[in-house]
A = this chain, B = another copy of it.
Amino acid sequence: MTEIISVQLDDPSIKRSAAIAKALGHPARIAILKLLGQRTTCFCGDITEVLPLAQSTVSQHLKALKSAGLITGEVEGVRTCYCLNPDGIKELESTLSELSSELIQTCC
């Protein structure tokens, strides 16, 4: 019985997985996440110092990570303090490990 168990593009869990993956889909954004993992806390300028990108570009990437829920950003005076968002990172972990174990079950 090879039944198709509904694969819909607007399935919220598929959309969410794709959105998380999309946020990870650029080297700069992975690098930023790793950096935040090393330093616990970071200002935008700290990241700009380390990456070969303009401040406005870094700010853009931070915005993408924030709207995907993977980081938080809190204004502290003239700076903004960015941190990994534990909830988002856990969701990243669970969502993508669920997906890969689902896939591995049949193919490996």
Asked whether, in the complex, the Cβ of A102 is within 8 Å of the Cβ of B34, the reply is yes
A15 within 8 A of B: yes
A56 within 8 A of B: no
User: In the complex, A36→B102 CA distance in Å?
Assistant: 11
User: In the complex, A39→B105 CA distance in Å?
Assistant: 12
Count of residues in A whose CB is under 8 Å from the partner chain: 56
Copies of this chain, whole number = 2
Asked whether, in the complex, the Cβ of B18 is within 8 Å of the Cβ of A30, the reply is yes
Asked whether, in the complex, the Cβ of A96 is within 8 Å of the Cβ of B100, the reply is yes
Question: Residues of B contacting A92 with CB < 8 Å?
Answer: 100, 103
Question: Residues of B contacting A86 with CB < 8 Å?
Answer: 104, 107-108
User: In the complex, A48→B60 CA distance in Å?
Assistant: 35
Within 8 A of B (CB), among A4-34: 4-5, 7-11, 14-15, 17-19, 21-31, 33-34
Known: A22-B22, A86-B104. 5 other contacts (CB 8 A): A4-B39, A18-B26, A21-B21, A33-B99, A92-B100
